[in-house]
Amino acid sequence: MTTIPEIRTRLIYLAQEHALPELAVLAQALKRRPMVRKARPKYRPLTPVLKEDIQAYAGRFPDLSYQEIANHFFTNIGRVSEALRGKREPSGINVQETERADAG
């Protein structure tokens, strides 16, 4: 898979090779704008202890929503989902299920 920086480099090369300054200008438009601000993380990361606590709490209160569990632990529903269902990779593979299969 080709990345945007690779495409930009190739366009700049082609612009120089074929004397097309407009192509070079368009290639420069593919640059990422600098970050204006970065907010501090609002929630704590998912630690092994927090994961166990979330799993135990969810087991005791099966009717609670992810949001209610997240509110109890001062985290977000993504952390709750990660604790209960495992962390998904870009490939769509569930990391916890893969680890369990490797261990068994």
| Structural tokens at position 36 | 């204006």
What pLDDT does 82 receive? 93
CA distances from 61 to 45, 55, 57 (A): 22, 10, 6
What pLDDT does 1 receive? 61
Q: Is the pLDDT of residue 11 over 90?
A: yes
CA-atom Rg of the chain in angstroms = 23
One domain, residues 28 and 51? no
Distance CA 52, CA 94 (A): 18
Domain that holds residue 6: 1-32
| Structural tokens at position 62 | 């099966």
One domain, residues 25 and 49? no
**Does residue 98 or residue 4 have the better pLDDT?**
4
**Count of domains in the chain?**
2
Distance CA 68, CA 63 (A): 10
pTM, to two decimals: 0.51
What pLDDT does 72 receive? 96
One domain, residues 2 and 27? yes
Q: Is the pLDDT of residue 29 over 80?
A: yes
